[in-house]
Chain A
């Protein structure tokens, strides 16, 4: 059951964050942080299917994570879901067309290895 939840979390988190990045890119950079302007940003985002899909996927991931930490330790749950780092970086390259040079790739791999080491007691 633990690993079923981990798989759901990795897939839902990756889908959610990639959709969120797509939606925010379509929206464009947020410059104005006054409350009125932020209200307009929120209502524009509420009409974006990327953002709504992203929130749906992240809700699935969130409830699966809540279930996971109710049956397993946080020290298992956090690193087990680090697989999403690799999947998301691959998706960022091919779907979002980001330029990932050697610094980003090696940095991301170091982070993923570090997260796994953190879990070992």
Chain B
């Protein structure tokens, strides 16, 4: 017996996790791939299409397609002003991966940034995911 609001919050958490993970992994693969591609400043689509044949770029782009679709699903029931700050926990994940998996140095300023983001995400995470008319919890769940 879960209330509609609890169900909405659980669904929102699961999709937020998918959005965050595909975003972090997708951008990491893309960034790794772009180092092998070189400078890319062109109005013609050809250099971009050529970049897609780099395997790192291809995996990155595939993950970013999953990111786009899960982000769209999330926005079908949650506010943009909720999704936007909450999914920024991705930045914290990037810093933690850098520190604990890649053993990079993370400066005090960066830890302060991580702390501010976590505080912001916690604040927004405690609001109801949707606030607009047709979206009110309990009316359309």
Task: Give the complex CA separation of A69 and B76 in angstroms.
Answer: 31
Contact A108 B30 (CB under 8 A): no
Count of residues in A whose CB is under 8 Å from the partner chain:
52
Asked if B97 lies at the interface with its beta carbon under 8 angstroms from chain A, I say: no
Contact A117 B81 (CB under 8 A): no
Q: Mark B42-81, 1 if CB is under 8 A from A, else 0.
A: 1000001001000000000000100010011101110111
Count of residues in B whose CB is under 8 Å from the partner chain:
55
Q: Which residues of A contact B114 (CB under 8 A)?
A: 114, 118
Q: Which residues of B contact A104 (CB under 8 A)?
A: 81-82, 85, 123-124, 127
Q: Shortest distance in angstroms between B135's beta carbon and chain A's nearest beta carbon?
A: 7
Contact A111 B121 (CB under 8 A): yes
List A52-75 residues whose CB lies under 8 Å from chain B.
Answer: 55, 58, 62-63, 66-67, 69-71, 74
Q: Looking at B41, B48, B51, B85, which has the most chain A CB atoms within 10 Å of its CB?
A: B85
Task: Give the complex CA separation of A62 and B30 in angstroms.
Answer: 11
Asked if B3 lies at the interface with its beta carbon under 8 angstroms from chain A, I say: no
Contact B110 A108 (CB under 8 A): no
Contact A20 B75 (CB under 8 A): yes
Q: Show the binding face of B for A, using Cβ within 8 Å.
A: 27, 30-31, 34, 37-42, 48, 51, 64, 68, 71-73, 75-77, 79-82, 84-85, 88, 91, 95, 107, 109-110, 112-127, 131-135, 140-141
Closest 9 A-B residue pairs measured CB to CB? A117-B113, A110-B120, A114-B116, A107-B123, A114-B117, A107-B124, A111-B120, A118-B113, A99-B131
Q: Show the binding face of A for B, using Cβ within 8 Å.
A: 1, 17-18, 20-21, 24-25, 27-30, 45, 51, 55, 58, 62-63, 66-67, 69-71, 74, 78, 85, 88-89, 92-93, 96-101, 103-104, 106-111, 113-121
